[in-house]
Chains A and B, each alone.
Chain A
Amino acid sequence: MSVTTSRVADALTDGRTALWALVGLLLFLLEAGAFLNFVVGLTIDGILALPGVDAAGFLTTVESAVREIPTLLSRETIPNEGYYDGSGYEGTFLGLSPAIAWALRATLVYLYAFAAFGWGVWGYRIYRRNYRAADWTPRDDVFDRFRGHKWGIFGLVIVFMFVTMAVFAPALGPTTVDQNMRNSYGYETKYWDSDSGSVETILVGDANLDSLSQGNDQNIGPWTYDDYGRFHPFGTMQDGSDLFTFLVVGSRISLVIGVLSVALSASIAATLALTSAYYKGRVDLSMVLISDAVMAMPQLLLLIMLTTVLRETWINEVYSGGFLLALIFAFTGWTYMWRSIRGPALQISEREWIDAARSFGQTPITIMRKHMLPYVTGYLLIYGSMTLGGAIISIAGLSYLGLGVAPPTPEWGRAVNLGQDYVRTGSWHISLIPGILITLVVTGFNALGDGIRDAIDPQSDSAGGETAGAGGGA
């Protein structure tokens, strides 16, 4: 394809595009180690899963070699875990105090994430201005409207920060789950003992026992050090482990379950909605009946029952029970999305280009995929975003009740549950901080959904955004 090659050559000789590519390369190189690590780890897991392949030794060498590649945002590059040796900090980044070192790393992580996002937007705009064949497509208006939608932008920022938290969870925490919670008696930590005036060593588990947050007598609040010189941005939990580490790792499971369940229910909903809109009549009616039947089942009771019944099965082992939760959410939640998408899908099925395609013999599946699906994806995004918020709240609610994600896997709802005895004491932070985070994230997803809706369909503008529709919006 000579056309494509010359286009690439053109792009690289054009100053702005070349600059864009260079920045992209730079951004990638900063995290290349982490990326390679991830890819190699995945490949090795895949190879080891194959029966009859015995290359463990070689693979381990590769893995550790890859791990040596320096990455800007890893814990090792900017360490925050160090100790005071009487004159200054040992082991922390540039001898800064653990709090500052940690804050620096967290800030860099977020700067990097926003830079990557900005780079993506920049690339899209270059493509739109210089390379796309059409001067204008209807999507452009959608983007422009979203840009002027402050509430939607707020949602996007919150959601983006949440996703960044989940993606960079190991680098963000002041310590790791393994060291601080799972295997706390397998690690040691050094600290400055001011009584004896020397550096002492203690097991992390023992240190945790002296860092409990259990009310007014014993409390390590947000943004404080414990007796062993360890910094806790959000304080400690009731068992002395670090709340911030618990929360960042917990964000991963919430996001994975949420995205998985919403993606599953969105694909079920979209498939069924397109089918019922295309065939109408009896097919449509039977789907209405099925979805009504599913809707009639109380979702919470079903969740409680299924998680209890399936507790002992293998499916509950996958991802600490998160996979099972996602499945249950998907199979009870698709009906609401189906209801919402069926209307738009029926509307689209009345358009004449559908009949035109049928008249020249296009197959039903291609018509649904090519001529109908693009018109409901917007709605899928809106309802997906809003359902995701709901899913996150449900997951948190279930683990608050002691169901769902199995301990000790960190989950936000469990943090609320664990701290509820201390809400009225000095250890209020254990429940309150995860509670606020849940509220914020769910609000963020809903705001994002609102923003996308108003961007796609300006006439439905209800939030009083900048672009009021041409009347009629209720």
Chain B
Amino acid sequence: MSDTLLEVENLRTVFHTEKETIRAVDGVSFDVERGETVGLVGESGSGKSVTARSVLGLVDEPGVIEEGSIEFCGDELVGGNWDEHRGDIAIVFQDPMNSLNPVYTVGNQIKEALRIHQGLRGQAATDAAIELLEDVGIPDAARRVTEYPHQFSGGMRQRAVIAIALACDPDLLVCDEPTTALDVTIQAQILELLDELQREEDLGVLFITHDMGVIEETTDRVNVMYAGEFVESAPVDELFDDPKHPYTKGLLASIPGRTAGDERLPTIEGEVPTSTSEPSECRFAPRCPHAFDACESVHPERIAVGDPDADHETACLLYDDEFEESPPEDGVVADGGETA
């Protein structure tokens, strides 16, 4: 089966503040298919989480989805139609400490979701909750189901959160940095668990992280996000072997261990700008080592690059034939000052 679960078209989510309108997500498009894991990667503040919240219809005032469409199994969700698909899309948040309510037992919280989505109550719900906890690999589930979140360890809590998500029997699982708050060994276990569940239930997964290592391990297709836009999308292998956008290159270079020989880890100077208006330039230009004059005045469109079979796109003027600049040779750390 390779039917499309989620189809996001030209999504723009903005936040109206007193001073200005902030475009947190500005025209992103992507698909998630059944059984596929789509990665969303970028720095803090690049709009990853807002994309996830938009997909779930959890954008609060003053935020609003201004433009674009989100189709789930062919049904348009934008315009408040999430209620029909509640539970079909489940979310796993970053901090398991925060996504479980400390005043209720873990079982109680799983049963809450079970009751809404499967109409289970009483003993039947308890049994189903124990089964779910077993499914996510919590030992001694029958006892654990009556315990409070503070009695669980970090990894256990994240497993419990995943159990709650599964209680809705979802088709699409949105993972908003599910491993960021965990230590590395637990991270690996959780990723393994997610992978297993995905194969068992044939779930579509939208996986959000800022950790390139995790992306490489888990996803099928990656979208690199910068200042509310996708600057590059490609299948995971293609992206790691042949990154095109200078930002992607910067991200990959800043993974420890990838750039051998260097004493200092390369970093991307500066931080993600807040986009407040229709872009008339490349938003990455101020931080880009290869920026040239046109970058300041032309907003790059997404163009196909690299392997023609790989469905690899990037939004960078370096690859646009209209402009004379040519992409830098790999491995050469170019100096941004020598552009024409």
Contact = CB atoms under 8 A, between A and B. Distances in A.
A90 to B, nearest CB: 61
A58 interface: no
B58 A355 contact: yes
Contact of B98 (A133, A136, A351): A351
Interface string B69-95: 000000000000001001101110111
A138 B58 contact: no
B339 interface: no
A352 B161 CA distance: 11
A281 B60 contact: yes
A352 B98 contact: yes
B66 interface: no
Interface stretch (A6-14, A359-367, A381-389): A359-367
B27 to A, nearest CB: 24
A311 interface: no
B119 to A, nearest CB: 13
Interface string A119-140: 0000000000000011011100
Interface in A348-381: 351-353, 355-362, 370-371, 374-375
A281 B116 CA distance: 28
Interface residues of B, number: 37
A117 interface: no
B151 A280 contact: no
Contacts of B148: 134, 137
Nearest to A375: B103
A279 interface: yes
B312 to A, nearest CB: 32
A288 B101 CA distance: 28
Given A280-B60, A281-B61, A281-B62, A359 B91 contact: yes
Contacts of A134: 147-148, 151
Contacts of B164: 356, 360
A359 B147 contact: no
A282 interface: yes
B112 A352 contact: no
Contacts of A356: 91, 93, 99, 161, 164
A362 B112 contact: yes
Contacts of B146: 133
Nearest to A371: B101
B182 to A, nearest CB: 15
Contacts of A362: 112, 116
Contacts of B103: 137-138, 374-375
Contacts of A133: 146
A133 B60 CA distance: 37
B113 interface: yes
A279 B56 contact: no
B156 interface: no
Interface string B129-161: 000000000000000001110110000000001
A149 to B, nearest CB: 23
A280 B61 CA distance: 6
Contacts of A351: 98, 101
A259 B290 CA distance: 71
B112 A357 contact: yes
Contacts of B56: 355, 358-359
A375 B98 CA distance: 14
A360 B58 contact: no
B212 to A, nearest CB: 24
A45 to B, nearest CB: 39
B130 to A, nearest CB: 15
Given A137-B148, A279-B61, A352 B93 contact: yes
Contacts of B91: 355-356, 359
A54 to B, nearest CB: 46
A191 to B, nearest CB: 63
Nearest to A361: B86
Contacts of B90: 359-360
A362 B87 CA distance: 10
Contact of A359 (B60, B89, B98, B112): B89
A281 B58 CA distance: 14
Nearest to A138: B102
A360 B90 CA distance: 7
Contacts of A371: 101
Contacts of A357: 112
B291 interface: no
A358 B58 contact: yes
Interface string A278-307: 011110000000000000000000000000
A279 B58 CA distance: 11
B100 interface: yes
A165 B165 CA distance: 53
- Most chain A CB within a 10 A radius of its CB, from B83, B95, B98, B147: B98
A355 B93 contact: yes
B302 interface: no
Nearest to B148: A134
A138 B144 CA distance: 18
Contact of A360 (B98, B113, B151): B113
Given A134-B147, A134-B151, A353-B101, A360 B60 contact: no
Nearest to B114: A360
Given A136-B150, A280-B62, A361-B168, 11 more contacts: A134-B151, A353-B98, A353-B99, A355-B53, A355-B99, A356-B91, A356-B99, A356-B164, A360-B165, A361-B116, A375-B103
Closest 5 CB pairs of A and B: A281-B61, A361-B86, A352-B99, A353-B101, A352-B98
Interface of B: 53, 56, 58, 60-62, 83, 86-87, 89-91, 93-95, 98-104, 109, 112-113, 116-117, 146-148, 150-151, 161, 164-165, 167-168
Interface of A: 133-134, 136-138, 279-282, 351-353, 355-362, 370-371, 374-375
